[in-house]
Chain A
Amino acid sequence: IAGITQAPTSQILAAGRRMTLRCTQDMRHNAMYWYRQDLGLGLRLIHYSNTAGTTGKGEVPDGYSVSRANTDDFPLTLASAVPSQTSVYFCASSKTQGTVNTQYFGPGTRLTVL
């Protein structure tokens, strides 16, 4: 593994189903993030984690949950998917150094909720 990996690459999901998007990084970064990207809206932060064992809410957290049991993994769960959660989801990580926060992004998961 080099950098950040996300799985699955894409998924079509029926509304009401539960879904977990996986994210793993091998850079030993302390911070990890989940964004969604929608046409015309740019990337919006869903949840973040500054260090293993802690999580925080971003701009659009409703309908999503995360956990950070260890440094490397940061799964995103949709408990009961709805069509408005159709989007491209990006995981990112960074090593915070003072006020400098260069984030490294995974390749994304394209999710369609029908």
Chain B
Amino acid sequence: KQEVTQIPAALSVPEGENLVLNCSFTDSAIYNLQWFRQDPGKGLTSLLLIQSSQREQTSGRLNASLDKSSGRSTLYIAASQPGDSATYLCAVQNGVNKLVFGAGTILRVKS
């Protein structure tokens, strides 16, 4: 059974700091890995999707890497801003249309 773990559970940083969120998974036979953002009381918004054959994806100040063999992914956020405050969730796709989520990292960027 696939298990996804995210560390840390919560993170508080000053504005402008670069930061890294970590995600690990137990079964490396994945189709892809995705990072989502969730604002309080809202649904999830997809940020980045890395296919199993890829090593990284970038979107603006966000960069996600994937090391499938070691079962790890990182989400790097450059020059953090208060608007980045949210919960970040990692999910792996094991089978067709099946995502397994981590519990998330709650990020607070202080101004």
Footprint of B on A, CB under 8 Å?
4, 31, 33, 35, 40-45, 48, 50, 58, 90, 92, 94, 96, 99-108
Contact = CB atoms under 8 A, between A and B. Distances in A.
Which of B42, B89, B97 has its CB near the most chain A CB atoms (within 10 A)? B97
A100 B60 CA distance: 21
Contact of A99 (B31, B42, B89, B100): B31
Q: Is the interface of A mostly helix, strand, loop or mixed?
A: strand
Interface in B89-111: 89, 91, 93, 96-104
Interface of B: 4, 31-32, 34, 41-46, 49, 51-52, 89, 91, 93, 96-104
A100 B32 CA distance: 7
B34 A102 contact: yes
A50 B96 CA distance: 9
A42 B42 contact: no
Nearest to B30: A99
Contact of A42 (B52, B93, B101): B101
B27 to A, nearest CB: 14
A44 B41 CA distance: 17
A114 to B, nearest CB: 21
Contact of B43 (A40, A50, A106): A106
